[in-house]
Amino acid sequence: MRIIHILNHTRRLNGNVHAAIDLACAQVKLGHDVLVVSGGGDFDRLLAGNKVAVERIDQERKPLTVLKALPAFRRLVKTWKPDIVHAHMMTSAVLAFPVCRLSGIPLITTVHNAFEKSAVLMGLGNRVVAVSEAVGQSMRERGIAARKLHVVLNGTIGSARFDGRSRTPAQMHRPNILFVGGLHPRKGLPDLLEAFRLTRQAGIITHLYIAGGGPFETEYRRLAEETGHVDAITFIGAIDEPFSYMMGADIFVLPSHADPAPLVLSEAREAGCAVIGADVDGIPQLLGYGEAGMLTPPRDPQALASLLIELLSDPRLLEVWKSRSQLNLGNLTIERVARETFDVYKSAMPFRARPTAAPA
């Protein structure tokens, strides 16, 4: 099958970019011909190294830029002759829709961030992929026809982005707690800082590591100082590869207020952390609805502190939850994502043109 993925850019800024890059590389491994069309970015070299073709078309969200991109994308589609076009961002979907309609090529869209108001534009696709059951439900409530919607849960294990990465644990104080995410309110870091304060106040000796950058870093550093335990809090900063910290972590915490299907959870589970996640959006599904990780109410530092105290007070229980993170881990592979996505593609194609099976 010949597949075009279209997205605004390939920079290391968004989880949806990571998911699209992972999928494109996995599809090549399964024998498909794949082209990524974007404004370019950090991952172009990785794509080329994994035999994914790359073309640049500026898709900045400006009317004039999109108007210029339309004929360029139309020419590319006529030349490359894809079986499927797959859009991963709202601007890309709007750009691809008329071209696919005129060309008679099925358009697939993936909703990565259902909390964005403009996510409803992803309904332009002949098929709409939701990255978790929660995202699928959200899109149905917003008027996307159920017949269009398919849930393909995010997964990262086996991603080409991780080829050759070190599995040596980072040097960290033990026992410890790790947060990886953007430093902005949606990720709920202030809740974790307060829960950490309560945990230390209960007499539990532990250290908190915070990996990530963002516009609220200065404010969150101030909140860390206000806990009275800033000497036990380390801001690692923004890093491209946090896996070594996950390998060295005891407890991974994601206290998000909204999170459609965070890729970081499959990485934390692969690393063997005990995992605590907020009971919101796609997080429960990624944690096996509580089987592979502990769930806590969002925006509730006291409840989160209670779980931290429970785990850190009982080394045997901590080991149990580290082991449970490995339950059904195969469901979080990028190969499973690629094969399920192939089934979505097939369902969107005219019956006479459908391939009989995914390549081996």
Q: pLDDT (tens digit, 9 = 90+) per residue, 73-85?
A: 999 999 999 999 9
- Residue 27 shares a structural domain with residue 115: yes
Is residue 160 in some structural domain?
Answer: no
Q: Please check whether residues 289 and 345 belong to one and the same domain.
A: no
Determine the structural domain holding residue 248 and report its residue range.
Answer: 176-331
Beta bridge partners of 56: 38
Give yes or no for a contact between 333 and 153, defined as CB atoms under 8 angstroms apart. no
SS3 27: helix
DSSP, residue by residue, 56-125: E----SSHHHHHHHHHHHHHHHHHH--SEEEE-SHHHHHHHHHHHHHHT--EEEEES-TTSGGGGGGGGS
Summarize pLDDT for 57-113 with one digit per residue, the tens: 999 888 888 889 999 999 999 999 999 999 999 999 999 999 999 999 999 999 998
Specify whether 244 is located in the same domain as 345.
Answer: no
167 within domain boundaries: no
User: Cα separation of 297 and 277, whole Å?
Assistant: 9
**Residue 359 placed within a domain:** no
Q: Do 148 and 206 sit in the same domain of this protein?
A: no
Q: How many CA atoms lie within 13 A of 223 on its CB side?
A: 19
The rounded distance, in Å, linking the Cα atoms of 320 and 108 is 41
pLDDT at residue number 67: 87
Lookup result for tokens 């004039």: 64
Q: Residue 201 has which token pair?
A: 């106040």
Q: Which amino acid is at 216?
A: F
- 137 in the same domain as 30: yes
50 or 114: whose pLDDT is higher? 50
Q: Is residue 169 part of a domain?
A: no
Q: Which of 121, 162, 6, 113 is nearest to 70 (CA)?
A: 6
The pLDDT of residue 53: 98
CATH of the domain at 236: 3.40.50.2000
Percent of the chain with pLDDT over 70: 97
3-state secondary structure of 322: helix
Count the domains in the chain.
2
Q: Mean pLDDT, to the nearest integer, of 265-283? A: 98
Please give the pLDDT value at position 301. 98
Could you tell me the pLDDT band of residue 358, with boundaries at 50, 70 and 90?
Answer: low
| Averaged confidence pLDDT in the chain | 95
Which residue(s) pair with 189 in the sheet? none
Looking at residue 65, its pLDDT comes to: 86
Please indicate, yes or no, if residue 190 is contained in any of the structural domains.
yes
